A = this chain, B = another copy of it.
Amino acid sequence: MGKVTFHIAVSLDGYAAGPDQNLDDPIGKGGMRLHEWLFPLAVFSGTGEGEVNESTPVVQAWTANIGAHIMGRNMFGPGRGEWDESWTGWWGEDPPYHTPVFVLTHHEREPLTMKGGTTFHFLTDGIESALAQARQAAGDKDILIAGGASTIQQYLAAGLVDEFELSVAPVLLGRGERLLDNLGASLPEVEQVRAVGAPGVTHLLYRVR
């Protein structure tokens, strides 16, 4: 059975997104600054152009063995309430997932098949059911909780995450969505697997006991 993982960029003060998410600021105001270390990398550009540094193998490992993704509705788009079915995600015709993606929502919607192997399935029956369906789709491969902060919190609080990586950017946001918050009374016990310092970021990998 594959692992359940997540990886996410956070500010030094622990925010995974800035405040006021909207069409112009998909990660909230200032949220893009959490990813500045990523944009110059060849592994990000997809064209082979760009830098290779200590972040390169870390980023490559993130996509190495993923068989399904889970994300919250607020990561899929800025809309709330009933679906605007013209919205097909932030990522254009060929989203960067290339697996089934299970979107947690309170509003039913037919599956949405995109190019490149990404199909969005909209699930309304909670995080455990979504994980069961993701496991079935993933087979022996790993399941990536793609985000956002609230979805990750729910899986962490439920004890359903095996391993996770925080990419700590040298940025203070002051407000926004704090990642490691709302975890309830029985906090996960974690151990540090390794740390990688890279230009403009440090990658911290943890295993949940």
List chain A positions with a Cβ less than 8 A from chain B. 12-14, 166, 168, 170-174, 180-181, 183, 185, 187-192, 194-197, 200-202, 204, 206
Contacts and interface: CB of A to CB of B under 8 A. Distances in A.
Contact of A187 (B172, B180, B192, B200): B172
A91 B182 CA distance: 35
Number of copies: 2
B204 A168 contact: yes
A204 B206 contact: no
Contacts of A181: 13
Given A13-B181, A180-B12, A206-B12, A174 B187 contact: yes
A168 B195 CA distance: 11
A161 to B, nearest CB: 12
Contact of A188 (B172, B189, B192, B201): B172
B173 A187 contact: yes
Nearest to A203: B195
A170 B14 CA distance: 14
Given A172-B190, A190-B171, A194-B197, A14 B180 contact: yes
B206 A202 contact: no
Contact of A197 (B14, B168, B171, B196): B196
A204 B170 CA distance: 10
A43 B23 CA distance: 52
A104 to B, nearest CB: 23
Contact of A183 (B172, B183, B197): B172
Nearest to A181: B13
A144 B14 CA distance: 24
A29 to B, nearest CB: 12
